[in-house]
């Protein structure tokens, strides 16, 4: 049975906890940091864009606190230093949200090797750097008899199902899901929790970035999939904190995403044919936008 945690229990779970959120300058990261502070956590809002991280920290209100930090998650030493500094200041690190990510959308043959390298560095290595910095520390914390902590990795529905025109993104998010589920099975006996977040169609700035060729993110993620009302990042953040408080292995949201995921598991052939048709539809939309 899936454990459900109410708002009061969520607030109790996060009150006084020390947390780091990467990619906290906008979108899901900013929403997670905001929700954590509201729940009473002391949060380091880290982002490559230090000014954006500062805006998130300044806007966050609640029983918790927020500090801003400029961080490049592709720099392993910098991630380690941030985790060490956070733990030294707070006395421990309770929560590591590896959320920073980028996307590229378009025909795979149009992607440059530099773009492949960039998305691997941020979406995969960035998560690995966060895990490598935080997980050993959390294992040591648990060995002292206290709560070890929790690692929360942001993946995507793209990490559970595959669709063309976002091939590099899908690859990296599958890696994040695999890392998270495997690590969870290892970490359970060591007192450390691991949760992976797999949302679909969240209304964030990533929808408007990483376009290659005629690709258009909002057409692809929203219009192409018939999504009239993308998930508000703050709503998703509340769902994510409830899943973390309940120590769920995975959060798949919204309901339509869970249904699609289950269909894909039951009938992968059907899902593959649907994906082929979806890509063909996207190409027609792109051609229409280009006026051809």
Residues 25 and 141: their CA atoms lie apart, in Å, by 29
User: Residue 43: enclosing H or E segment and its boundaries?
Assistant: strand 42-47
Sheet of 149-154, strands arranged across: 65-70, 42-47, 18-22, 95-98, 149-154, 192-199, 250-253
- Marked catalytic residue, from 135, 169, 220, 221: 169
Which residue from 206, 213, 214, 223 is spatially nearest to 172, judged by alpha carbons? 206
Does the active-site annotation cover 220? no
Which residue from 210, 213, 228 is spatially nearest to 289, judged by alpha carbons? 213
Spell out the alpha helix ranges (H) of 112-158.
113-119, 126-143
212 burial (CB, 10 Å; 0-12 / 13-18 / 19+) is middle
CA atoms lying within 13 Å on the CB side of residue 73: 31
Q: Any idea which residues carry the catalytic annotation?
A: 169
């Amino acid at each position: 049975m899936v454990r459900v945690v109410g708002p009061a229990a969520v607030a109790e779970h996060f009150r006084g906890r020390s947390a780091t959120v990467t990619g906290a300058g906008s979108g899901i990261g900013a929403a997670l940091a905001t929700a954590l502070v509201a729940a009473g956590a002391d949060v380091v809002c880290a982002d490559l864009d230090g000014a954006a991280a500062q805006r998130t920290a300044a806007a966050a209100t609640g029983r918790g606190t927020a500090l801003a930090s400029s961080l490049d998650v592709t720099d392993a030493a910098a991630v380690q230093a941030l985790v060490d500094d956070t733990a030294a200041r707070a006395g421990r690190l309770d929560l590591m949200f590896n959320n920073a990510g980028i996307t590229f959308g378009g025909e795979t043959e149009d992607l440059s090797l530099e773009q492949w390298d960039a998305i691997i560095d941020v979406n995969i290595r960035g998560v690995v750097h966060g895990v490598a910095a935080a997980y050993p520390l959390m294992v040591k914390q648990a060995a002292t008899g206290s709560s070890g902590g929790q690692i929360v990795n942001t993946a995507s529905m793209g990490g559970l199902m595959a669709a063309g025109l976002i091939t590099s993104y899908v690859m990296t998010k599958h890696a994040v899901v695999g890392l998270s589920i495997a690590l969870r099975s290892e970490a359970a006996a060591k007192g450390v929790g691991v949760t992976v977040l797999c949302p679909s169609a969240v209304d964030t700035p990533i929808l408007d970035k990483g376009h290659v060729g005629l690709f258009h993110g909002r057409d692809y993620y929203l219009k192409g999939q018939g999504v009239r009302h993308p998930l508000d990042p703050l709503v998703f953040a509340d769902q994510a904190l409830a899943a973390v408080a309940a120590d769920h292995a995975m959060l798949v949201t919204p309901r339509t995403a869970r249904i699609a995921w289950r269909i894909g598991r039951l009938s992968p052939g059907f899902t593959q044919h649907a994906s082929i048709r979806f890509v063909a539809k996207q190409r027609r939309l792109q051609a229409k936008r280009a006026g051809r």
